[in-house]
Amino acid sequence: MKRIILILLFFGITANAQNIFKNEFEQNIATRISTINLVDPHPYVDYVFCVDGTNYLNNTINDSMNNDGDGDGFIDDSVITQFYTDQPDYITGRDLIASVIDSDCPYPLHSAACEPEVGASPTFISTVPSQINDCLNAIPGTESPAGYSPPINTISAPCYVSEPQNFTLNLLNGATLPLSGYQQAEKYEGGLTMSPGLIRGFVSQADAEAFNFTVHVNGNPLNLTLAEILPGHPNNCKTPTLNDMDLGPDGITQGWWLYFNITSELVEFDSN
């Protein structure tokens, strides 16, 4: 029965996850982030002019999460959340333990089961459900004064949210971003997708300065640090006109609260 979900997805049939998983699907429920977009703050890149680089950065991230750039048969980046239940309604109905792990998912997706990357270790999270109240939104005072669009998602019930903790997020094919106060939340009303979703977490100035990556602007590769593209950093082209720097969960450390709007989908995951 574990192949039912693959058959349904392949032929585009709308399915109720309750029918797929409950009493039939012998694996714990697993979801994979399918889109992730930084919505606050916006990065600015010094490229001839001071350019809003949000679309360039998000396109780079999502390309690695949906394509096989190195031709090894796997999508370049896959972040899997595995809930320790096989009952879909428990996700928004009960406190759960889940694990988040970098994984190998086949390209194209759903052509086989996803499985943990070799050497990857799971990070365990505790999730809290809500059938009435919002699960997660922006922390007051941490949104950019620029009033970016689209806005930060507010995750309304039925939903789940993870408890705050330290977490390392893999964004760009091996580049790891340390976040404190990390939380993830998603709305789930049954079916094979979770949407909308939100990830928020705080990156310190020191960690942002150490986070190196390459983004393509008009086809040209630029080697950057995360810190230099965020307003408020001394080397950012928008500073001092715009300052998006915040204080971290400890009320002392300077850096940035990052907000990512996400969507996820249910996948087959072989954790053995």
Please say if the pLDDT value at position 24 is more than 50: no
Residue-averaged pLDDT of the chain: 90
The answer to whether residue 156 sits within a structural domain is yes
% of the chain beyond a pLDDT of 70: 90
Q: Average pLDDT in the 130-155 region?
A: 97
Report the pLDDT value the prediction gives residue 26, as an integer from 0 to 100. Answer: 63
Please check the confidence at residue 105 and state whether its pLDDT lies above 70. Answer: yes
Q: What pLDDT is attached to residue 8?
A: 38
Q: Would you state the pLDDT for residue 10? A: 38
In a domain, 249, yes or no: yes
> How does residue 69 score in pLDDT terms, banded at 50, 70 and 90?
very high
Q: Which domain holds residue 51?
A: 4-267
Mean pLDDT of 137-158: 97
Give residue 81's pLDDT band: very low, low, confident or very high (50, 70, 90): very high
User: From CA 10, how far away is CA 29, in angstroms rounded?
Assistant: 19
Could you tell me which of 52, 33, 34, 32 has the C-alpha nearest to residue 42? 52
Neighbours of 53 (CB within 10 A): 22
Helix (H) or strand (E) holding 216: strand 212-217
Is residue 272 domain-resident?
A: no
Over residues 108-135, the mean pLDDT reads 97
- Position 263 confidence tier, pLDDT thresholds 50, 70, 90: very high
Q: What is the CA radius of gyration of the chain?
A: 19
pTM of the model: 0.90
Into how many domains does the chain fold?
A: 1
The answer to whether 215 touches 222, Cβ cutoff 8 Å, is yes
* Spatial contact of 158 and 129, defined as CB atoms under 8 Å apart: yes
